[in-house]
């Protein structure tokens, strides 16, 4: 995958925002739970208070009744009084016998009442606990109910019946308060979120500012250039340790770069010295053999002595010329003469360079008769002649040899191509073509193409090539007009 990871600043920012959001959700969640628990405790406590008050009234009625206080008389005792009690306490009241059978209720509408007709046996068992009180919760018609069951006692604390108090939990007021509180809490969280958003952005930017500066400096670090050290005034201890390590690395890097450059220069001179020595030894060997042979065979009385002396001198002069050409080649490669730019007609200069060669298969083409560019005439001629020379040497007794030299232009550049139908360049040697000392020829020092590349790049141009073995090679030189 591409590098789409979040930056440290974004991670810090999003982490802080996420923390605020999670905290807000948790607070809202806990608030709702707390409100629900408070509402439940409120309703339960209210029901228990009503139970105590109703039980007190029942005790008063039982103590003041003229009827015999027993289960069979409960309906008679509370037939009318139960409505008065229900009205006083604003709560429905039902009375059952000890078997759970219905006796009397304050709700006269039996079709819609909340009074059950028969108390289940399971519920009766739950009533026989230590407190002789049982509260059952249920939901009917989307409404929450609490049903309290407790024993009704006579004056001697003997159970004579069961009181049923169905209580509708009215949480509308609490729900309204909860809704209003959540709205206020939401507005408060919105303000907190906006403030936290700004603070998180500031803190994340502040935390990562130093890291960004360090990252930028590290990205711009190069071995062969002057690298600036990092100076931070307000940063954490960890960042300061990182900066100190970076600055120490820069010092070591500069020392290493100096040593490496010096080592490369020394190695380059050693390689150059080896190459010069090797190339000079090549003509020295035949010169030595020629002198030794002439010394052994020298006879002043020989009638052909003058002819032999001439041949001997000719051989030495040829080898001396070879040595001179070697010295000139190394001199040209090591020290390129300063370019003398002038406005010249590239078509004319390149055409003149091709006319130096006498081979009939060397052909010249140009799209325009005049292409003006600001170049050095001698260097341009050297580039073209070297490329043509390499092209002719690659033909290797080709049956139908061909070298085509073309000059074209675009808006900003002059383009020169030299194409041949020679042996081509193999894939394993293409990367070495412009390296000094590399050559595929039996003679030569491999300095021609590196020298051309040096000239072209000094102008800000490029030199490239395409080649196919046994088909040919095309070198393309692109030089800016200005």
pLDDT value at residue 233: 62
Q: Phi/psi of residue 24, each to 5°?
A: -65, -45
3-state secondary structure of 303: coil
CATH number of the structural domain 342-480: 3.30.565.10
Q: What is the pLDDT of residues 262-292, one digit of tens each?
A: 676 666 666 666 666 656 665 666 667 667 7
8-175: CATH topology: Beta-Lactamase (3.30.450)
Q: What is the pLDDT of residues 96-119, one digit of tens each?
A: 998 889 888 887 654 344 556 788
293-297: long-range contacts at Cβ-Cβ below 8 A with a sequence spacing of 24 or more? none
Contact 467, 419 (CB under 8 A): no
DSSP bridge partners of 474? 419, 466
Please state, in angstroms and rounded to a whole number, the distance separating the CA atoms of residues 348 and 376. 13
pLDDT value at residue 8: 65
Chain-centroid distance, C-alpha 361: 57
| Domain definitions of the chain by residue range | 8-175, 220-335, 342-480
Q: What is the pLDDT of residues 126-173, one digit of tens each?
A: 887 767 888 887 776 667 777 888 888 888 888 889 888 887 766 566
Helix (H) or strand (E) holding 458: helix 448-458
Q: What is the pLDDT of residues 15-71, one digit of tens each?
A: 878 888 888 788 888 888 887 777 777 777 777 888 888 888 888 888 888 888 888
How wide is the angle at C-alpha 476 spanned by C-alphas 474 and 481, nearest 5°? 160
Please state, in angstroms and rounded to a whole number, the distance separating the CA atoms of residues 464 and 332. 22
Please state, in angstroms and rounded to a whole number, the distance separating the CA atoms of residues 230 and 453. 38
Residue 475 buriedness (CB in 10 A; 0-12 / 13-18 / 19+): buried
pLDDT value at residue 442: 46
pLDDT value at residue 409: 92
pTM exceeds 0.85, yes or no: no
How wide is the angle at C-alpha 147 spanned by C-alphas 119 and 103, nearest 5°? 40
Q: Phi/psi of residue 283, each to 5°?
A: -80, -20
Please state, in angstroms and rounded to a whole number, the distance separating the CA atoms of residues 401 and 359. 10
Q: Which residue has the tokens 């046994």?
A: 470
């Amino acid at each position: 995958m591409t590098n789409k990871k979040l930056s440290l600043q974004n991670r810090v920012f999003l982490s802080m925002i996420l923390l605020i959001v999670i905290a807000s959700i948790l607070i809202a969640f806990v608030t709702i739970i707390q409100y629900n628990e408070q509402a439940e405790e409120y309703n339960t406590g209210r029901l228990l208070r009503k139970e105590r008050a109703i039980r007190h009234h029942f005790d008063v009625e039982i103590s003041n009744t003229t009827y015999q206080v027993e289960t069979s008389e409960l309906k008679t005792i509370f037939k009318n009084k139960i409505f008065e009690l229900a009205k006083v306490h604003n709560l429905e009241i039902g009375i059952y016998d000890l078997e759970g059978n219905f006796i009397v209720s304050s709700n006269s509408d039996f079709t819609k009442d909340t009074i059950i007709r028969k108390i289940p046996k399971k519920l009766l068992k739950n009533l026989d606990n230590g407190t002789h009180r049982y509260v059952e919760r249920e939901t009917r018609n989307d409404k929450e109910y609490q049903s309290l069951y407790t024993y009704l006692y006579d004056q001697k604390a003997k159970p004579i019946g069961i009181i049923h108090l169905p209580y509708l939990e009215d949480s509308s007021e609490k729900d309204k308060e909860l809704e209003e509180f959540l709205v206020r809490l939401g507005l408060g969280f919105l303000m907190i979120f906006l403030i936290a958003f700004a603070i998180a952005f500031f803190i994340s930017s502040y935390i990562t500012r130093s890291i960004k500066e360090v990252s930028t400096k590290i990205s711009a670090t190069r071995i062969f250039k002057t690298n600036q050290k990092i100076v931070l005034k307000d940063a954490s201890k960890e960042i300061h340790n990182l900066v100190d390590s970076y600055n120490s690395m820069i010092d070591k890097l500069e020392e290493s770069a100096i040593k490496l450059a010096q080592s490369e220069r020394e190695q380059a001179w050693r390689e150059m010295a080896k190459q010069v020595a090797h190339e000079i030894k090549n003509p020295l060997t035949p010169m030595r053999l020629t002198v030794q042979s002439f010394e052994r065979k020298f006879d002043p009385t020989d009638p052909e002595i003058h002819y032999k002396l001439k041949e001997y001198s000719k051989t030495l002069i040829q080898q001396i010329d070879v040595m001179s050409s070697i010295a000139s080649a190394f001199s040209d490669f090591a020290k390129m003469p300063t370019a003398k730019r002038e406005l010249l007609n590239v078509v004319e200069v390149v055409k003149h360079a091709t006319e130096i060669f006498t081979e009939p298969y060397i052909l010249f083409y140009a799209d325009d008769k005049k292409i003006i560019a600001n170049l050095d005439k001698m260097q341009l001629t050297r580039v073209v002649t070297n490329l043509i020379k390499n092209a002719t040497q690659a033909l290797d007794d080709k049956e139908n040899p061909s070298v085509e030299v073309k000059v074209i232009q675009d808006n900003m550049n002059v383009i020169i191509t030299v194409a041949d139908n020679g042996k081509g360049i193999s894939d394993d040697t293409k990367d070495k073509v412009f390296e000094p000392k590399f050559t595929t020829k039996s003679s030569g020092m491999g300095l021609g193409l590196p020298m051309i590349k040096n000239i072209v790049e000094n102008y800000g141009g490029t030199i490239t090539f395409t080649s196919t073995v046994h088909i040919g090679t095309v070198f393309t030189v692109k030089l800016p007009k200005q």
